[in-house]
Homo-oligomer: A and B are copies of this chain.
Amino acid sequence: MVGFALLGAGRIGNMHASIIAAHPQAELLYIYDTHQISATKAAKTHGSFAADSVEQILNDDRVQAVLIATSTDTHVDLLTRFVKAGKAVLCEKPIDLDFKKVEACWDTIKNSAVPVQIGFNRRYDPSHRSLQEAVSTGEFGKLEQLIITSRDPGLPPIEYLKGSGGLFRDMAIHDFDLARFILGEEPIEIQVLGSVLVDKQVAEMGDIDSAMIIMKTATGKLIHINCSRRCAYGYDQRVEAFCEKGMLLSDNPHPNGLTKYSSDGTGSKGQLHEFFIERYQDAYRNQLGAFVEGLLAGTPVHPSFKDGLAAQALVEAAQEALETGLPVKLK
């Protein structure tokens, strides 16, 4: 058994709470939130205890691992403190919007043996993962082109967007991590084009809501990512790996198998999943499962802090390319 504490009792925190609570080898000892009422309520729902303070968790020897699902600006501080306390960390992405803080954090913890896993849940989606496995085993020969389609169902509230760090830091970071995961190597060049097509308010705050990215690796592999903040037919998340001997497509699952044939059209299914909590339900569960399994087996957990760092480096490069209008080379 692994003794867990959950930090953050918002919507995502509650999702994590129910996953930890349901895991046969995890025990959810504490839930903490600066908003005490949320912690208490979540603790009651999930059969756990509301911690009075972060210190209470830090000082409890039964706690072997923490899941950090608090607001982004608290991640680095909490992660550092728990790593120093010898407690394994599963931290929601991004580590921090300020890349320098992420680098500084890495300097602090890089010599620690405490396991740290970053919450790039999509790596644990059964379809995406099967694709990555098929690519890495070379089932269809070597990978040549990778195409990721990433469309959120609808624009978040403007207030949220203001603090989000922009489309690349907030949204595309998942796609950059997924690309690295599947490629098994690093992009060396990135080019981007961005637009405001969904809502003009996005332009006013200096952000974009639509983007197209192309990248290239040292071995010549080509990568395309397209993003939109709004998608009329649901949460559209596809990965296409074009290989020497074939193509692998991680297609959207359908929550309902009903298919209609009429004079209006044939083969029509319903909407895609509403958003990531529904779409990546299995991914979140498998992510925690892998974390617990790694802790119990004493093997490395993935994606690591370094993976988080590398994904954010791509994000920063994309941001620079957008701002300068020029290709950016990566080291």
Contacts and interface: CB of A to CB of B under 8 A. Distances in A.
Contact of A258 (B22, B232, B250, B325): B250
Contact of A195 (B211, B221, B251, B327): B221
Contacts of A264: 264, 268
Interface stretch (A48-56, A238-246, A308-316): A238-246
Interface stretch (A65-73, A115-123, A161-169, A212-220): A212-220
Interface residues of A, number: 76
A265 B257 contact: no
Contact of A265 (B147, B198, B265): B265
Contacts of A268: 260, 264-268
B232 A260 contact: no
A245 B260 CA distance: 11
A256 B221 contact: no
A138 interface: no
A189 B325 CA distance: 10
A151 interface: yes
Nearest to A225: B224
Nearest to A132: B258
Interface in A301-322: none
Contacts of A193: 189, 191, 214-216, 222
Interface string A244-274: 1111111111111111111111111111100
21 contacts: A126-B256, A130-B256, A140-B232, A140-B262, A144-B198, A147-B149, A192-B214, A193-B222, A195-B222, A196-B220, A212-B214, A213-B214, A224-B226, A232-B243, A246-B262, A248-B261, A251-B258, A263-B271, A265-B270, A267-B268, A268-B268
